[in-house]
Amino acid sequence: MVHHVSAYGDPFYFPRILRYVAVDSRCREFLETKPEIPRSRIEVVPNAIDMERFQPRPALPPKPRRALLFSNYAAAHTHVPAVSQACKRMGLSLDVIGRAFGTEIANPERVLPGYDLVFAKARCALEATAVGCATVLCDFSGAGPMVTTGNFDDLRKMNFGQNALTRPLHPQQIIAEIERYDAADAARVSERVRKEASIADSIHSWTSLYEAVLTESRELPRDADAELRATGAYLETLSRWSYESRVEWEAAQLERLLNIPVIGRSLHTLAWRVLKKWKGKRSGHSAG
């Protein structure tokens, strides 16, 4: 079994999980703090982009004219005011696309080529750079740098995400990054993204990983007692939730198990038995 980890949260330790796959160095470091997870089972597979979908835009102008704030967290109470003020001072028109702002779209590949400068993080930033937009890392939690050929390697390891947003959300800080706009450098960044972050290569990585795990799993002895203990221990970590919330959440996770290749249905059955046993204990304690 492979467990993909893209954000913080208690990973589910289970004896038959042979790989924990992090999306970036931050998630890997988090997994490494879990003593029950062998480091040999932790790998990193970065985000990737469908390059057929996100086609390159025409060459950027010498100076930016149109800017886009691309984030589902963009709102009047988060980072819209700071970015808006910075763009106004720099003479840039600014649009906002995102769920919180009420402008979420399903086809960003159609609109990104119309912008010279994009404020985004993580996958949104990767999509913007793939298209060829100059990209400044930014989100509600802080501001980051303009993505350049000079910092690309470090930012890629961070998934262009949270760890890169180390600066305050202040208009002057954002202006300093806008002033680093370099059309030629942005084009070179885009070339690297299109070469190194293709979903075709990512699919190959995932396929190779699953093949290795399936081969390894055939020789893995099954320890039913250890599996029951691991499942029970994980359910116990949810004790800070309300009883109803835990049951609802666990039911949703059980349904997700069915999608795991090869062993999903058997694992679903095992986990369901443990959950029913746990619910019975909890009801008994409540009744007492």
Q: 66-197 — its CATH code?
A: 3.40.50.2000
Separation CA 75–CA 79 (nearest Å) = 7
Q: Which of 71, 67, 160 is nearest to 117 (CA)?
A: 67
DSSP state of 57: P
Sign of CA dihedral 236, 240, 244, 247: negative
Reported as a pLDDT band with limits 50, 70 and 90, residue 240 is: low
Written as one string, the DSSP assignment of 193-209 is HHHHSBHHHHHHHHHHH
Query: How confident is the model at residue 261, as a pLDDT?
Result: 45
Q: Which two tokens stand for residue 154?
A: 């470090």
pLDDT digits (tens, 9 = 90+) for 43-64: 888 889 999 999 999 999 999 9
Sheet with 117-120, strands from edge to edge, namely 93-97, 66-70, 117-120, 134-139, 142-146
Which residues fall within 8 angstroms of residue 192, CB to CB, at 6 or more apart?
A: 149, 152
Using DSSP, how many helices (H) and how many strands (E) does the chain show? 11, 8
**Domain boundaries defined on the chain:** 1-48+207-219, 66-197, 221-288
Q: Residue 237: what residue type?
A: T
Pick from 28-42, 81-95, 150-164: least confident: 28-42
Separation CA 211–CA 223 (nearest Å) = 22
Q: Is the pLDDT of residue 39 over 80?
A: yes
Count of alpha carbons within 13 Å of 185, Cβ hemisphere only?
14
